[in-house]
Amino acid sequence: MPLVTVALVKGRSRTEKDALSRRICEAMKDEMGVPPEAIWIKYEDVEAEEWYVGPDSIADRKKARQKE
């Protein structure tokens, strides 16, 4: 049984995660023949201050874009 881990910056709604989960299950079924009930999906909600792109946190990048 496959485990799919999805890391996201915190703030996505349950509705968004439900929709993404359905799409992931659909893709796994279509591409690999895995039945949806055999797929485990784990969401990791990461604070923007804890997720970095290069030397800058996502939070800092968002702040910089707002100043532009």
Q: Give me the domains of the chain, ranges plus CATH numbers.
A: 3-67 (3.30.429.10)
Q: Is the pLDDT of residue 17 over 90?
A: yes
Q: Phi/psi class of residue 29: alpha, beta or left (left: φ > 0; alpha: ψ in -120 to 50)?
A: alpha
Across the range 30-49, mean pLDDT stands at 97
Find the angle CA(13)-CA(49)-CA(23) to the nearest 5 degrees.
30
Across the range 20-47, mean pLDDT stands at 98
Q: What is the pLDDT of residue 24?
A: 98
Q: Is the pLDDT of residue 67 over 90?
A: no
As a whole-number percent, the residues of the chain with pLDDT over 70 amount to 100
